[in-house]
Structure 1
Amino acid sequence: MGLDDREALSTVRAAVDPKRGGSDVVGRFYARWFATDPSVRDLFPPDLAAQRNSFCQALFWVLGEFVDQRAEEPVAFLAQLGRDHRKYGVTQQHYATLHDALLATLHEHLGDRWDARIAEATTHAVDLIVGVMRGAADREQTPPYVDGTVVEHLRVTRDVSVVRLQLDQPLAYHAGQYVAVQVPQWPRRWRHLSPSMPADTSGAIEFHVRSVSGGMVSTAIVNQTTPGDRWRLSNPHGGMHVSRSDGDVLMVAGSTGLAPLRALVMNLCREAENPRVHLFFGGRYPCDLYDLRTLWEIAATNPWLSVTPVSEYSTDPPWAADYPDVRPPRGLHVRQTGLLPDVVTSYGNWGDRQILLCGGPKMVAATKAALITKGAPPERIQHDPLPY
């Protein structure tokens, strides 16, 4: 029966359940893969915890789709994964050893439960997973990555930097998407960052980066980036967008979550007629609203854009004096004080709007929940994938 055997596939899926020790199984897979093909180890960072968890979650989801007899989304996901893995330097030979190591690890883990049905279902599932990734990578003709040089690094708050680069060649992406980035301070540790401007034919690009507690890459970018650094950027992901035919728009940005929403606003500026856009931009302190002046400049010439600044606290801490003054001219964009979810929903449920949320996972989840509680339709709410 193979992929039609839902019971057998469910058994395989349970083996990689992240909540039931699946990451340990995936850890043994990586150990086996590296032992049988030592050339693979250099493609990954020394600390594999994040990679292991991501692969475990992806494998669990894909097998769940197979159990439910859905193929379109997992095949598209696996194809994108294959194209994306080109940036690591993964070769066709690596896919062959990956296939054998994954199949052997699942066989070993399932032990006495490994009968003819389980073997057939597992083999067909691994064949499909690896085959789609390998085929998509082999067919892709675009470069696996684009390199660029940092031309400007601005420390705009204590924990936020604006980084501008000139790419060796333009990178194609849609406003609202995010891209994979590797910086010289942490080779082989790719992180997702959102461009804060639409794709530029000259290769100019800008990122807003917030230093996250415990985040090695983000902290290095904010504290150590200097002009002349060489960055590497890879495939764009994400589907946040504004439809010009689907009504007015609510945008909610927490801190550097502003970047992709600002890119979408800038993209809208290219057209003469646009839906009304109300953008809430939030931070902990007023000084954290680092790009408020840019938003004011855009709104001053585009009457369809309204901006509401929001800060949890009404006054700045003493260290704010060491960084640029972000306040727009007096009387414009009156700032609200409070938590973003509370302030946003105090205006209503926004159920008639296209709703785009971007920021920290907790803020996005809390704002989404508050809007739904108020009556906003969940299907009208867009945001990038949240961590499990």
Structure 2
Amino acid sequence: MISSEVLSGECSVKRHPSGRRERRARSAQQRGSQNGAGQGAERRVTLGTDHPHAEGRHGGPPAPGTERQPEPPPRAANALPEPLSPAECDVVRSSLALLEPQAADLAVYFYAILFVRYPGVRDLFPQDMDVQRDRLLRALLRIVDLVDSPEHLARFCSRLGRDHRKFGTLTEHYAAVGECLLQTLARYAGPAWTPETAQAWQRAYQIASEAMILAANDDTRLRPAVWEARVVGHRHLGNALAEITVATNPAYPYQAGQYVSMETPWRPRVWRHYSPANAPRADSTLTFHVRHVSGGHVSHALVYRARVGDVVRLGPPEGDMLLSAASAQDLVFAAGGTGLAPVRALIEQLAAEQRPPERRVHLFVGARTGNELYGFNDMLRMAQRHHWLSVRAAVSHEDIPGAQGFLPEVIAASGPWEHAEAFVSGPPGMIAATRQALLRCGMAAFRIHHDPLGVPVLDAPLEPVHQAQEEDYRI
């Protein structure tokens, strides 16, 4: 898993038209025969955790000659609001299309009025707001992309809600954000912000915020929001790379292959993602391989400033690149750069099994030069101890006999892989190229596992990828 410092500048969200059509079909029965009743009137819908008032739900007494419709039964305290109607979904999407050209100015204005009206929330955000503005836009885009799929929208917003716990977000903050967000949208939409548009966006925000709040409340009962981790080991590996070992109390609950968000004392409220390079240990320590990225303040601090005794904070573990997701097929591991960390953890887990694995495991490690093949000798020694593991290097920018070539090409030439299963970790471009190479070799898409290519909480798949869903997640 590459550090998210490399990815934070990306500002687009991949749209999948075919996946959207499938989601609309799957959610049509859930919506039933909703016809957008009440649209065109000034329906009062509150923000955050508040619910519509029974007396004022439709904005006053019924017009002469009409009868007030009976109120629906109150929903359970832990139930989400009714999903948007198809007409409301169309209104939200069409209005966002008008707003997208003004997205950068919109984000600046939103945070400006949020901090003026509610200065107490400023402390929840980092000093440098550029990345945070990007996150807002990406989250809005994905919520709008999912408004016609209540199930997927709930999963996405639940993930957001759990993730926001580490920032110190409280229930009352959602109403403040909703108020300022809707005023911002109205300002930049101009004449296009009709009563129907306002109502649709109010409902969309209510659904999203309540899903986040419910998920956060449930998560509070299960685990801490953050774990304090003390640095107990720090070793420079060369090429701007450091091996950092931390210990937590209580033990940090993760599985090999997952990644972790980390906050350092030198850049408060700035979180970056790194993968433990080890399977869970009895002493509850975790080892991270961190490379200093040009312009990366967090990675620079971890590599060059951190010392034994310093304390960092870890958010909950994330990611589905787990061995439990694999079948009994032979395994192909592809690692580029610090992407070796989660792959190494997965191989450690295989080696720790009570009986030797019956399947063969093929590890390919890619780098530009031989000096950048960090950890390769350790993996060779592991292969000498375990007959089921083979290790091969792929060096792209240096002439090394037996190891020359780009990683995807070397993997493809070592096939066939149509009956194998793959785990790929490294820079986004390397993951995309390796995935395409494996597909051309006949490997089924649902057998290729990798972490999200962007900000994990915003870009992670919302359900396991199966062969029939390949088009939804094609890179």
Alignment of 1:128-207 (within 5 A): 128-140=207-219, 141=221, 142-207=223-288
Q: Which amino acid aligns with 2:269?
A: R
For structure 1, which runs of at least 5 residues remain unmatched after alignment?
Answer: 317-333
Structure-2 residue corresponding to 1:286: 370
Structure-2 residue corresponding to 1:83: 162
Q: 1:105 to 1:244 in 2, by over 3 A?
A: closer
Q: 1:100 to 1:374 in 2, by over 3 A?
A: same
Query: Are positions 1:13 and 2:96 aligned together?
Result: yes
Cα distance in 1 for residues equivalent to 2:280 and 2:114: 38
Which of these residues, 200, 203, 208, is aligned with residue 124 of structure 1? Answer: 203
Q: CA offset at residue 143 of structure 1?
A: 0.7
Find the residue that maps to 2:238 and give its secondary structure.
coil
Query: Are positions 1:264 and 2:330 aligned together?
Result: no
Deviations 1:308-341 (A, max 9, x none): 122224479xxxxxxxxxxxxxxxxx85112212
Whether the 8 Å contact between 2:336 and 2:427 is mirrored in structure 1 is yes
Find the residue that maps to 2:183 and give its secondary structure.
helix
Which of these residues, 115, 133, 144, is aligned with residue 52 of structure 1? Answer: 133
Find the residue that maps to 2:143 and give its secondary structure.
helix
Whether the 8 Å contact between 2:95 and 2:192 is mirrored in structure 1 is no
Cα distance in 1 for residues equivalent to 2:303 and 2:201: 45
Find the residue that maps to 1:175 and give its secondary structure.
coil
Q: CA RMSD in A?
A: 2.0
Structure richer in strand, relative to its length: 1
Q: Which runs of 4+ in 1 moved over 6 A?
A: none
For structure 2, which runs of at least 5 residues remain unmatched after alignment?
Answer: 1-35, 37-82, 460-475
Cα distance in 1 for residues equivalent to 2:188 and 2:164: 26
Which of these residues, 355, 360, 363, is aligned with residue 427 of structure 2? Answer: 360
Q: CA offset at residue 246 of structure 1?
A: 4.1
Q: CA offset at residue 201 of structure 1?
A: 4.7
Find the residue that maps to 2:190 and give its secondary structure.
helix
Q: CA offset at residue 244 of structure 1?
A: 5.1
Which of these residues, 226, 240, 250, is aligned with residue 332 of structure 2? Answer: 250
Whether the 8 Å contact between 1:12 and 1:122 is mirrored in structure 2 is no
Tell me which of the two structures has the higher relative contact order, counting C-alpha pairs closer than 8 angstroms and 6 or more residues apart: 2
Find the residue that maps to 1:235 and give its secondary structure.
coil
Cα distance in 2 for residues equivalent to 1:339 and 1:159: 22
Cα distance in 2 for residues equivalent to 1:144 and 1:199: 20
Q: CA offset at residue 13 of structure 1?
A: 3.4
Find the residue that maps to 1:74 and give its secondary structure.
helix
Deviations 1:323-381 (A, max 9, x none): xxxxxxxxxxx851122122122223523221111111122122223333444333322
Deviations 1:162-185 (A, max 9, x none): 101111221111211111101122
Deviations 1:225-277 (A, max 9, x none): 21111110011111112245341111110011001111111111222142321
Aligned length: 367
Whether the 8 Å contact between 1:16 and 1:26 is mirrored in structure 2 is no
Structure-2 residue corresponding to 1:328: none
Percent of paired sites with the same residue? 35
Q: Which moved more, 1:219-228 or 1:187-196?
A: 219-228
Which of these residues, 383, 386, 400, is aligned with residue 299 of structure 1? Answer: 383
Q: Which amino acid aligns with 1:200?
A: R
Larger Cα-atom Rg = 2
Find the residue that maps to 2:419 and give its secondary structure.
coil
Find the residue that maps to 2:333 and give its secondary structure.
strand
Cα distance in 2 for residues equivalent to 1:298 and 1:169: 30
